[in-house]
Amino acid sequence: MSIPQSFIQELLARVDVVEVIGRHVQLKKSGANYMGLCPFHGEKSPSFSVSPSKQFFHCFGCGKNGNAIGFLMEHAGMGFVDAVQDLAQGAGLQVPDERASPAERARAAEQRRQQATLSDVLEQAATAWAGQLRKSERAIDYFKGRGVSGQIAKRYGLGYAPEGWRGLASVFPEYDNPLLEQAGLVIVGEEDGKRYDRFRDRVMFPIRNVKGECIAFGGRVLGDDKPKYLNSPETPVFHKGNELYGLYEARTAMRAMGYALVTEGYMDVVALAQRGFANAVATLGTACTAEHVHKLFRFTDTVVFSFDGDTAGRRAARKALEAALPYASDTRSVKFLFLPPEHDPDSFIRVHGQDGFAREVEAAMPLSRFLPEAAREGCDMATAEGRAHMLSNARALWEALPEGALRRQLLAELAQQAQLPVQDLAALWAQPQGRAEAGRGQGGAPAGEPGRRPWRGKGADAARRGPPPRPQPARRIDHAARLLLSHMQFLEELTHEDQGLLREQPAPHGTLFLWLESRLLEHGPQPWAVLREALADQPCQRLAERLMTGSHAQTEGEERELRWELRELLNRMLVEAIKHEQIALVEQAASDPQAMERYRQLQERRLALEAPRPAAS
């Protein structure tokens, strides 16, 4: 979807950032601005400022800032288009798509209308079943027996679908409405055409998307009937490979606690939230996918997967490992928690309590240990053949990792376990795999998944050597933009501080970075040839084409070197931005006693940025 920049500007002029943020954060008037506790990091005194005049928010604690669109993207984990559409709906505006034909616009509008209607239908069912829970002693006793309080039941919208084949007929007078079947609430018999409720005599768990809209349900029997759990089918609003149970409820706790806890069941999530782990989510009866991991990393930089310690749990952990590898950059952490075979998270925390479970989380196995362990499975490490088999297992996993220090360290770890010099293993893996490479994406990742090229270093000297001297461009901002246009995946590794710096650049540079971010969220990393076509008629098109044409546009070289170069550029830009803010703070010091404290904080950050950094290796 191509949204005109003029519409974005009109939308931001129509919405009030104070009102938008006020739905999620308790704000109090403080001078010309509003202050509140930052929703992006834990704090006890307010440092989160919202400016009505600038229509901008800024946290003096963690540095996050932006407009109303940026807030929804950061806080709710929405994509750029979803955030724009959410704001436009509230403002009574229709989002235009200047690239679409009238027929395509009509189809898109009809699809959005259908999705909104289906969510309304599902929300009505959720409300009805929550009411039925209060009337059912059996369902109440079930949740009480699992230690679930009324407060948690209300937070997660827990409910009960009563016995009977047509219980929803009392909720929806038009029981033959096709929407009930499309929403997965009603089943229509293939032979007789009779309609009946999908969920009967089950406790119900509403599944919500990141915007809080009800999109599906999970239902659990109260006895021993089969199937124990029943999920909604795939619908226009629900694709289980993309959604996580409890994500909407857990997103704030993830930021406050610093990590996301991924489990396998609805009751795991509810039980953990009851006992102090409100950052838990669950996959929906399917293996963890790359989309799940990508979605979680919008809210936190650390993900802990919790699995049973049995064989099935190990298989699930291996799937999660493969899904997480392309996103395991040096600034992110992925861990694996294996409970004793007789326990799941729900039963473990009821037996051992909050502190006992917290100790298990603290001791969770990092990806750097689990990857070699997974590669060694079934291999006799006492023989050369077994060690070679281990390396064969490990190669595709290792190559799916992004370039960086973690990837380098794992190369050395795997070489040591295989009893090979690291330079020999690097040279071996630098060679093509031949037919084994067919059907795999760049860097060994499955086709369609983000990946990186294997390291092409040629021995230990190359591993220690930094990047060759490169001439500094006349304008840092131009070269930073050039690197991101030619290696769009670098955007995924930027910190929130980096993102804020780039978004705040004057037009057309700031406009280009905002467009690139939205493109990444909607489509993932794309090559320049695709981006050039998508840039047609964009306000930043001329800038991008100027940067990417001519001899100065070459950004060839090792990705590790280019990453290092981008990091250095951004650090110098951050230092310049800090210097300008410090100058302003000195002028404010006479009237604002907090100005010098902010000055000292910035000085510490500036010194850290100016400290000598090791060369790329």
pLDDT, residue 521, reads 77
Residue 593: CB atoms within 10 A of its CB come to 9
Residue spans per domain, the chain: 5-91, 111-231, 249-363, 373-464, 476-610
Same fold? 111-231, 249-363: no
Q: Any idea which of 146-150, 161-165, 586-590 has the lowest mean pLDDT?
A: 586-590
Whether the predicted pLDDT of 90 surpasses 90: no
pLDDT at residue 202 above 70? Answer: yes
| Predicted local confidence at residue 258, as pLDDT | 87
Mean pLDDT of 164-171: 93
Q: In which band, very low, low, confident or very high, does the pLDDT at 244 lie, cut at 50, 70 and 90?
A: very high
CA–CA separation, 346 vs 261, rounded Å? 13
- pLDDT for 413 equals 95
The DSSP line for 21-45 is: HHTTS--EEETTEEEE--TTS--SS
Check residue 269 and give its pLDDT. 95
Averaged confidence pLDDT in the chain: 83
Long-range CB contacts for residues 520-525, cutoff 8 Å, separation at least 24: 520/488, 520/491, 520/492, 521/73, 521/79, 521/80, 522/1, 522/79, 522/80, 522/81, 524/450, 525/450, 525/488, 525/489, 525/491, 525/492
Q: What's the burial of 24, exposed, middle or buried (CB within 10 Å: 0-12/13-18/19+)? A: middle
pLDDT exceeds 80 at position 406: yes
Question: Tens digits of per-residue pLDDT, 469-501?
Answer: 333 333 789 999 989 988 888 988 888 888 888
Q: Return the minimum-mean-pLDDT range out of 38-42, 275-279, 301-305, 532-536.
A: 532-536
Q: What is the pLDDT of residue 287?
A: 85
Whole-number percent of the chain with pLDDT over 90: 41
* Chosen CATH of 111-231 out of 2.160.20.10, 3.40.50.1370, 3.90.980.10, 2.60.40.10: 3.90.980.10
Domain range 5-91, CATH class? alpha beta
pLDDT at 459 over 70: no
pLDDT at residue 165 is higher than 90: yes
Task: Give the C-alpha separation, 288 to 264, whole Å.
Answer: 9
pLDDT of residue 107: 66
**What is the CATH architecture of 249-363?**
3-Layer(aba) Sandwich (3.40)
Q: What is the mean pLDDT of residues 139-153?
A: 94
Which of the 8 DSSP states describes residue 245? B
Any idea which of 232-241, 288-297, 520-529, 600-609 has the lowest mean pLDDT?
Answer: 520-529
